[in-house]
Amino acid sequence: MCSGRVDLEFVLRAFSNGMDGVFIGGCRLNECNYITHGNYDALGNTYLCKKIMEHIGLYPERLSIEFMSSGDGILLVDVINDFCKKVEKLGPLGKSEGIDENGLKFKLEAVTKLIPYIKLVERERLRVPFKSEEAYNQFFTSDEVNRLFNELIGDKLAISQIMLLLREKSLSTGEISESLGLTPSEVSKYMNSSSRQGFVRYDESRKCYAIA
Q: Of the candidates 14, 37, 36, which has an alpha carbon nearest to the alpha carbon of residue 87?
A: 14
Query: Is the CB of residue 44 less than 8 Å from the CB of residue 7?
Result: no
Q: Please give the average per-residue pLDDT across 16-31, as a whole number.
A: 94
Strand pairing partners for 80? none
In whole angstroms, what is the distance from residue 3 CA to residue 25 CA?
Answer: 7
What percentage of the chain exceeds 90 in pLDDT? 88
**What sections of 91-206 are H helices per DSSP?**
101-112, 115-125, 133-140, 143-149, 155-168, 173-180, 184-196
Q: What is the mean pLDDT of the chain?
A: 94
Q: Please give the average per-residue pLDDT across 109-124, as a whole number.
A: 95
User: Would you place residue 196 in the very low, low, confident or very high pLDDT band (cuts 50, 70, 90)?
Assistant: very high
Q: What is the DSSP string of 25-40?
A: EEPPTT--SSTT-HHH
pLDDT in tens, 141-184: 999 999 999 999 999 999 999 999 999 999 999 999 999 999 99
Q: What is the reported pLDDT for 71?
A: 86
pLDDT in tens, 202-211: 999 999 999 9
Q: Is the pLDDT of residue 65 over 90?
A: yes
In whole angstroms, what is the distance from residue 183 CA to residue 208 CA?
Answer: 16
